[in-house]
Amino acid sequence: MKKASIAPSLLAADFGNLQHDVEMVNASEATYHHIDVMDGVFVPNISYGMPVVKAIHKYATKPLDVHLMIVDPDRYLEEFANLGAHILTVHYEACTHLHRTIQAIKALGMKAGVALNPHTNVMLLEDIIQDIDLVLIMSVNPGFGGQSFIDNTYEKIKKAKELITRKKSSALIEIDGGVTSANSKQLVDAGADILVAGSFVFKSEDPTATIKELKG
């Protein structure tokens, strides 16, 4: 049985005690720290920016999986590389010259991810799939934690998997939004490699055990 990699989203962490929550992830079975950066323009919410990412990086011992929900991300690629991002994911819908953005992320030594909103067709990645390291399929509309999972995601995972196989890409599939132990197994069975989970982990009584449970 394939096990998922888990990326707890620090958006749901206790910002008054961020070090504690980062260290919980360090000591858990999670693979990444998922970091959601929102600008209030691409999405209707503002989360946190560079100083907070810097603070997370100071305590994190696992790779930083940075999800940019911002317009014109090209402006900040170098800054996120300097902040220690391991994977840098930009939104398909936010990039006019996506190929150039992907090449720039990789030239800075980071893994390049592309995120798709729920309405964005997976097949739009056909001409870029060989260049990217990660496809992030949004299973809620980006902007907020704690929303309900959109069921069409399973279909999108299957399409992404087929595309990756057909094009001989090594891209991983990451699912973000509304992930719980009620859907984690089905997501992995459909082809997901990495599961992001915010509320389900941090609002649970024992986040470490919840991460283990999601991993399967």
Contact residues for ligand DX5 (CB under 6 A)?
A: 9, 11-12, 34, 36, 67, 140, 142-143, 145-147, 176-179, 196-200
> What is the footprint of Zn ion within residues 120-179 (CB under 5 A)?
176
39 is catalytic: no
Of the pair 40, 146, the CB lying nearest ligand DX5 is at 146
Query: Using CB distances below 5 to 8 A depending on partner kind, what does residue 204 bind out of ligand DX5, Zn ion, none?
Result: none
3-state secondary structure the chain: CCCCEEEEEHHHCCHHHHHHHHHHHHHCCCCCEEEEEEECCCCCCECCCHHHHHHHHHHCCCCEEEEEECCCHHHHHHHHHHCCEEEEEEEHHHCCCHHHHHHHHHHCCCEEEEEECCCCCHHHHCCCHHHCCEEEEECCCCCCCCCCCCCCHHHHHHHHHHHHHHCCCCCEEEEECCCCCCCHHHHHHHCCCEEEECHHHHCCCCHHHHHHHHHC
Which of the residues 21, 133, 176, 193 is marked catalytic?
176
Of the pair 36, 39, the CB lying nearest ligand DX5 is at 36
- Regarding 67 and contact with Zn ion (CB under 5 A), the answer is yes
193 is catalytic: no
Q: Which residues sit at the interface with Zn ion, rule CB under 5 A? A: 36, 67, 176
Positions annotated as catalytic residues are 36, 176
